Amino acid sequence: MSFPGHYTYWVTIFLMIAGLYIVIARGNLVKKLIGLGIFQTSVYLLYIAPGKLIGGTAPILAASFHTYSNPLPHVLILTAIVVGVATLALGLAIVVRIREAYDTIEEDEILEKDRAEEAEE
Amino acid sequence: MIADHLPALQVVVPLLAAPLMMLVRRGTFAWLVAVAVSWTTLAIAFALAVKVREVGVISYAMGNWPPPWGIEYRVDALNSFVLVLVSLVASVVAPYARTSVAAELPRDQHYLVFTMFSLCLAGLLGITITGDAFNLFVFLEISSLSTYVLIALGRNRRALLAAYQYLVLGTIGATFYIIGVGLLYLMTGTLNLADMAQRLRDVHEMRPVLAALAFITAGVGLKLALFPLHFWLPNAYAYAPSAITSFLAASATKVSVYVLLRYYFLIFGVPLVFGRLPMAEVLIGLSVLAVVSASLVAVFQRDLKRMFAYSSVAQIGYITMGMGLANKAGMTGAVVHLFNHGITKGAIFLLLGGVALRVGSTSLERVAGLAKTMPLTSFGIVLGGMSLIGVPGTAGFISKWYLVLGAIEHGYWGLAVLLVVSSLIAVAYVWRFVEVAYFREPEPGAARLAEAPGSMLIPAWIMVAACVYFGLDTSLPLDGARAAAALLLGGAP
């Protein structure tokens, strides 16, 4: 119940908050997606770290092994990584389209252009 | 033989149709497959609903791995109801989509719309039917990713920013959900929802469980546009292609509401959520804010699609309000409103698709005198609007009636009054349409406008007719909703 004992959780929380902060604080659409990536990555750690036992091996039934790490979180996170990659790819694709349509990827400039367009109507 | 595998087929059919459409790359073919698929899912959903009435709960072991180790598909009174809603909406929107999509999007993108539509349908049905917390996340992402693509296909360039913003918020929501599931997994060692509910009883009071509840509430709240997490919704609905707007408005948020219902009542349980934590007050408070503020904002919109999008935020407030009441009448109201609002909003957005096709815009100024040029469409929108208000004889009345009963049963007289007053705000925004469409002269060039084509008008009017029919003959949705409410309040799944 000490700080070093919860080491992985502190790293997880740091990544989580840092990622979320980037998403909120940055106006650049690509940087936002990077923040989103960091935020998602922190969850991978949240799942995988508790599944590991020190000295544990993969769950192979053999006489010489007695302690096993939990393999399920790895499998789950493999799926989550795929989801994360798909999200990032789609997000970047949309940013490319935004850049083609607006000529910028800064959120405030895009909103500015939208407002100008609305004022014209 | 096939009857045993219906729970799997419910999801597998639309999921497999998507790559097929992608490979053939023909708009018409993709459309035909989309119609066939959505009608098949509707048939399966009905078959499952009938079977659930007989046997209570259907448990299907995916790949024959027995639960709680394998992924379980579990159909009960609650989710069979939602399955019917989602597939019903899909099977009305799919035939409609052809003309609407052809008018709004370039030819080479048609097959993509139907591919994504099919994937989104698979995702939504999967979220509803699965009995596994992590599998639910995967389906959530399947439906979300396809939704982002569908929104980005909108023809206005603002659709791109709307899709981007929804992608960021939706991903944060889904990640919050998965953090919550991770904490629950750490506490219980299981991902099967029914098993998790059993094991959580032993660890009720521990802090990670409370943190998990908070993460899941915030995550799913983002997806269902719970006030004040609704900022993505108006833009996404306003700029998506018309057919897609009506599909999403009628089904996507409803499925998220279902997820929250399942977690609150069947997994965390009433004693924890409403006994130990003040979630009832939080939900009712936020719902009141949603209903009042979003309705007021809707009154001042200049675009009809945006107006009804804000109205959606308000109507979702009614559903979460019923959830917060957590008594029999309130829950029945919540579940039946899920259905009624789904068909009402679906109908309105389908008709607005016709307006967008003929007028070229859905802004209030452009629809002046619409009742003269498009009488059927205008009248349909008014009927749908009456259902939103909750006029007796329409579907919306039934849900409001039960919500008021639920509030009175709790002794919340103020809330009951507020429900009635908030309906008056709905009168205000529906009236704005009536005034412009019925009491203003058409613009000079508009006289040549014709009614929307039959391929769009007929599906839209089927939904409008359903709004009125289910307002008069309430037995079908109400029986389903009562059974679902009984299941939710009955304790163990």
Residue B277 has a pLDDT of 85
Of B424, B403, B426, B425, the closest CA to residue B415 belongs to: B403
Tell me: pLDDT of B74 over 80: yes
Residue A121 has a pLDDT of 67
Q: Which pair of structure tokens corresponds to residue B94? A: 């799919």
**In terms of C-beta density within 10 A (0-12 exposed, 13-18 middle, 19 or more buried), how is residue B214 classed?**
middle
CB-based contact A36 B171, cutoff 8 Å: yes
Q: What percent of chain B has pLDDT over 70?
A: 98
Q: How far is CA B451 from CA B345, B354, B367, B368, B448, in A?
A: 20, 8, 13, 15, 10
Task: Please report where in the chains the tokens 């993505």 appear, as a residue.
Answer: B232
CB-based contact A40 B175, cutoff 8 Å: yes
- As a whole number of angstroms, the distance between CA A120 and CA B424 comes to 34
Which residue among A79, A90, A98 places its CB closest to the CB of B148?
A: A90
Residue B156 has a pLDDT of 87
Let me know the angle formed at the C-alpha of A24 by A22 and A29, rounded to the nearest 5 degrees. Answer: 75
- pLDDT averaged per 10 residues in sequence order, chain A, 121 residues: 77 94 93 95 91 82 83 90 94 95 91 86 67
Residue B244 has a pLDDT of 93
CB-based contact B185 A43, cutoff 8 Å: no
Q: Are the CB atoms for B134 and B174 separated by under 8 Å?
A: no
Tell me: pLDDT of B493 over 50: no
Does any CB of chain A come closer than 8 Å to the CB of residue B158?
Answer: yes
Residue B17 has a pLDDT of 93
pLDDT band at B446 (very low <50, low <70, confident <90, very high): low
Compute φ and ψ for B366, nearest 5 degrees: -80, -20
- The three-state secondary structure class of B288 is helix
Provide the chain A residues 23-82 that lie in CB contact (below 8 A) with chain B. 23, 29, 32-33, 36, 39-40, 43, 46-47, 50, 73, 76, 79-80
Facing residues of A106 across strands? A28
A82: nearest CA partner in chain B = B138
Once rounded to an integer, what is the mean pLDDT over residues B434-456?
80
Facing residues of B85 across strands? none
Q: Are the CB atoms for B80 and B49 separated by under 8 Å?
A: yes
Chain B residues within an 8 Å CB radius of A80: 137, 178
A33: nearest CA partner in chain B = B168
CB-based contact B179 A110, cutoff 8 Å: no
Q: Which pair of structure tokens corresponds to residue B13? A: 């059919």
**Which CATH code for domain A4-52+60-120?**
1.10.287.3510
CB-based contact B167 A20, cutoff 8 Å: no
**In terms of C-beta density within 10 A (0-12 exposed, 13-18 middle, 19 or more buried), how is residue B431 classed?**
middle
Residue B448 has a pLDDT of 67
Q: Is B386 left (phi over 0), alpha (psi -120 to 50) or beta?
A: alpha
Mean pLDDT lowest for which of B65-79, B236-250, B260-274, B435-449?
A: B435-449
Task: Please report where in the chains the tokens 């109908």 appear, as a residue.
Answer: B347
Once rounded to an integer, what is the mean pLDDT over residues B147-170?
93
- Burial of A27-50, coded b for 16+ CB within 10 Å and e otherwise, reads ebbeebbbbbbbbbbbbbbbbbee
CB-based contact B178 A43, cutoff 8 Å: yes
A35 CA to chain B: closest CA distance, Å?
10
Tell me: pLDDT of B329 over 50: yes
A54 CA to chain B: closest CA distance, Å?
17
Q: Are the CB atoms for A89 and B167 separated by under 8 Å?
A: no
Which tens digits make up the pLDDT trace of B249-302? 999 999 999 999 999 998 988 888 888 888 888 999 999 999 999 999 999 998
Residue B185 has a pLDDT of 92
Chain A residues within an 8 Å CB radius of B135: none
Facing residues of B75 across strands? B58
Q: How far is CA A119 from CA A114, A115, B139, B155, in A?
A: 9, 6, 41, 20
Residue of B136, B138, B144, B185 to mutate for A, most A C-beta atoms under 10 A = B185
Q: Which amino acid is at B392?
A: P
- The three-state secondary structure class of A68 is strand
Q: Are strands B58-61 and B72-75 parallel, antiparallel or unpaired?
A: antiparallel
Chain A residues within an 8 Å CB radius of B191: 76
CB-based contact B172 A32, cutoff 8 Å: no
Q: Which amino acid is at B2?
A: I
B103 CA to chain A: closest CA distance, Å?
21
Q: Are the CB atoms for B330 and B409 separated by under 8 Å?
A: yes
Q: Is B411 left (phi over 0), alpha (psi -120 to 50) or beta?
A: left
pLDDT band at B155 (very low <50, low <70, confident <90, very high): confident
For the question of an ipTM over 0.90, the answer is: yes
Tell me: pLDDT of B233 over 50: yes
Provide the H-helix boundaries in chain A: 7-25, 29-51, 72-102, 107-120
**Half-sphere exposure for B56 (CA within 13 Å, toward CB):** 3
Residue B108 has a pLDDT of 87
- The three-state secondary structure class of B492 is coil
Tell me: pLDDT of B461 over 70: yes
Does any CB of chain A come closer than 8 Å to the CB of residue B169?
Answer: no
Provide the chain B residues 187-206 that lie in CB contact (below 8 A) with chain A. 191
- As a whole number of angstroms, the distance between CA B406 and CA B397 comes to 14
Chain A residues within an 8 Å CB radius of B138: 79, 83
Which tens digits make up the pLDDT trace of B88-145? 999 999 999 998 888 888 888 899 999 999 999 999 999 999 999 999 999 999 999 9
Q: Which pair of structure tokens corresponds to residue B230? A: 């609704």
* pTM value surpassing 0.80: yes
Parse chain A into domains and list their residue ranges: 4-52+60-120
Facing residues of B74 across strands? B59
Which tens digits make up the pLDDT trace of B376-387? 999 999 999 999
Tell me: pLDDT of B332 over 80: yes
Higher pLDDT, B64 or A31: A31
CB atoms within 10 A of CB B477: 25
Tell me: pLDDT of B492 over 50: no
Does any CB of chain B come closer than 8 Å to the CB of residue A98?
Answer: yes
Most confident of A78-92, B56-70, B323-337: A78-92
**In terms of C-beta density within 10 A (0-12 exposed, 13-18 middle, 19 or more buried), how is residue B451 classed?**
middle
